[in-house]
A = this chain, B = another copy of it.
């Protein structure tokens, strides 16, 4: 297959796909966009991803977006890396359920801190959204903490869900979540951060 390209940006959820690709041993090019200058809205990038977001993964067959879809695809494309329970539909669904919760609830809660303008135009409304982020993100952390028996999201085996949880759990403290209430998440962060593929992805991601 031809070489893939991952479009990423520092501090975004694209890190989860980046980690998955490094865990998989994939050979790919990394393009880091500068969100500060609005590069994700440039005509060049909109031609790649009309949604103007990262991650976007350019593959042989076309461009793929949406983190949960990318994570499952990377796991399926590199089965020898054992990054998902590919032979057990229920366990795979559990992984997808977790990834879906991160994407649709946790990431969305986080986005109300800096991206409130997506959902309201009024400055006071955007400020009201920002003010509630510590509460909503703490509620998300509590949901995750209660189910994280470890060492990994799915129990005994590392999966792409762990790199995704790591990516968003790194946002918690900055979003006003008091991490002393979430020891399982803190231990999980340390466990994931220690992995060579994760260290490499973090160093490469520039953020």
Contact = CB atoms under 8 A, between A and B. Distances in A.
Interface of A: 50-51, 59, 61-62, 64-70, 72-73, 76-77, 89-90, 92-94, 96-97, 99-101, 103-105, 107-109, 112, 118-122, 124-125, 128-129, 131-132, 136, 143, 146
Copies of this chain assembled into the complex:
2
A10 B146 CA distance: 29
A68 B103 CA distance: 11
A107 B100 CA distance: 13
Given A76-B92, A125-B122, A143-B50, A64 B97 contact: yes
A89 B77 contact: yes
Of all A-B residue pairs in the complex, the 5 with the closest CB atoms, nearest first, are A66-B100, A125-B128, A69-B96, A73-B93, A125-B125
A136 B129 CA distance: 17
Contacts of A121: 128, 131-132
B96 A66 contact: yes
Given A119-B119, A125-B125, A72 B93 contact: yes
